[in-house]
Amino acid sequence: MKKNRRSFLSLGAAALATSTGCQPGADAAKAPPSELGAAVSEYGSRSPFEKAARLHNSPTPATASSRTPLEEIHGILTPPSLHFERHHAGVPQLDPAKHELLVHGLTDRQLIFSLADLKRLPSVSRIHFLECAGNSGSEWRGAGGDTAQRSHGLASCSEWTGVSVKTLLAECGLQKAATWVIAEGADACLMARSIPLEKMLDDALIAYGQNGEALRPEQGYPLRLLLPGWEGNTSIKWLRRLHVTSEPMRSREETSHYTDLLADGQAREFSFEMDAKSLILKPSGGQQLPGPGAFEISGIAWSGRGRIEKVEVSLDGGEKWIAAALDEPRLPKAFTRFRLPWSWKGADTILQSRATDDTGYVQPTTEQLIAARGSNSNYHHNGIKRWRIEASGKVTNV
């Protein structure tokens, strides 16, 4: 019996209605009357039904921080309004028409750039993650965060637009003795870090844009340094000075802070790179599965060394591993989204993921990290995160 296109589409619609429990036109009379929508606005806002928010802890400006609700993010980009924050002296309000960037020291020429000057130079836009060195630091001592936001929320990913630092240094001319650059911000504490010249000539950016708009004040408006793949505190916000030198400054932030104290009492200094990391976001701590059935395990992976090559998921606490699918684009030093179809039978289950980057580095367990470095540090924890699915469907931290 032949069926034409019209009859085929009719059968398809009927089948869809039956499978979803809906009938065409059902309860149409009960539908609420249509209302005239809101007018256009000068600046867009999200739906009032969306409640994703940053978890923040700010007893003083010197200890202020907020965490990205990673479990609420789709894809790999973080909205600027949900990007994590970490401040050392509050958020200054800087007039972009008056703000300037000084480049000096072991250079042939001392130059001062206004924001307008920088925007006249060749620009670049690249997607990179930014992560605080202390992200997931509570995992060192087994406490861990009960949600993805609490444990790993000091990490976000954006498209950054600005000028290559290499371009500015070429304009100034470098002297032979130059090996380090001191980057300094315009916040009240003059936050500063020493950066090897090699990194500055590689992929460092002076960023003035984030996800298509100007940087927000919390992200360093009007200018910030961005060092892809390195701990977030080195990406100095409210950047006002680049001092080219022959040695690091070894400030408080490079001695008593942002060093990794090892088990033998020695400390790792200038441990800039953020190692490969992954995190299952759905399901994750604080969530509730409605019951047995089909689900998608989804999460993100990233590495400060390069691109994510593989993410594996374990459904049995690490006994066996299954390769997850990786969404494109897979970019170096950026979030990569991974996915794995999963049929949950309703039994108590432990989920975890591990990432491998293009250098061959494999994400370790916390136990392996402690064996190598001890548990004295608060920084650079990239151990495997485990979630327990209870028989009730409740998801908790292991």
CATH of the domain at 195: 3.90.420.10
Shared domain check, 232 and 331 = no
| CB-based contact 306:357 (threshold 8 Å) | yes
253 domain residue, yes or no? yes
179 domain residue, yes or no? yes
According to the model, what pLDDT value does residue 31 have?
Answer: 62
User: How large is the average pLDDT for residues 105-115?
Assistant: 98
8 domain residue, yes or no? no
Prior bond of 283 cis (ω within 30°): yes
Residue among 270, 89, 121 at smallest CA distance from 195: 270
- Rounded Cα distance, 194 and 180, in Å: 7
- Rounded Cα distance, 276 and 306, in Å: 9
- Confidence band, pLDDT 50/70/90 cuts, at residue 132: very high
User: How large is the average pLDDT for residues 199-216?
Assistant: 98
Shared domain check, 256 and 108 = yes
- Confidence band, pLDDT 50/70/90 cuts, at residue 314: very high
Q: Please say which residue of 268, 290, 324 terminates a domain.
A: 268
According to the model, what pLDDT value does residue 281 have?
Answer: 98
195 domain residue, yes or no? yes
Shared domain check, 192 and 255 = yes
Cβ-proximal residues to 301 (8 Å cutoff; 6+ apart), any chain: 276, 277, 278, 279, 308, 311, 335, 336, 338, 353, 355
- The domain that contains 371 carries what CATH number? 2.60.40.650
User: What is the arrangement of strands in the sheet containing 55-57, beginning at the earlier edge strand?
Assistant: 55-57, 65-67, 85-86
Q: How far apart are the first and last CA of the chain?
A: 59
Shared domain check, 104 and 212 = yes
- Confidence band, pLDDT 50/70/90 cuts, at residue 25: low
User: How large is the average pLDDT for residues 64-89?
Assistant: 95
| b (16+ CB within 10 A) / e for 49-81 | eeeeebeeeeeeeeebbbbbbbbbbeebbbbbe
Query: Phi-psi category of 27—alpha, beta or left, where left has phi over 0 and alpha has psi -120 to 50?
Result: left
Shared domain check, 208 and 111 = yes
Find the domain containing 367 and state its range: 277-397
Residue among 224, 241, 82, 72 at smallest CA distance from 160: 224
Shared domain check, 288 and 258 = no
Question: Is the pLDDT confidence value at 263 over 90?
Answer: no
pLDDT tens, position by position, 156-178: 999 999 999 999 999 999 999 99
| CB-based contact 210:216 (threshold 8 Å) | yes
Shared domain check, 216 and 114 = yes
According to the model, what pLDDT value does residue 145 have?
Answer: 85
Amino acid identity, residue 210? Q
17 domain residue, yes or no? no
User: How large is the average pLDDT for residues 370-381?
Assistant: 90
305 domain residue, yes or no? yes
Structure tokens at 108: 């042939």
User: How large is the average pLDDT for residues 338-355?
Assistant: 97
Q: Please say which residue of 206, 233, 268 terminates a domain.
A: 268
According to the model, what pLDDT value does residue 58 have?
Answer: 74
16 domain residue, yes or no? no
Shared domain check, 93 and 174 = yes
Shared domain check, 249 and 364 = no
Shared domain check, 62 and 127 = yes
Number of domains in the chain: 2
38 domain residue, yes or no? no
According to the model, what pLDDT value does residue 29 have?
Answer: 56
CA 191 to chain centre: 21
Shared domain check, 292 and 317 = yes
Shared domain check, 220 and 255 = yes
| b (16+ CB within 10 A) / e for 325-342 | ebeeebbbbbbbbbbbeb
User: How large is the average pLDDT for residues 10-25?
Assistant: 43
Q: Please say which residue of 268, 295, 321 terminates a domain.
A: 268
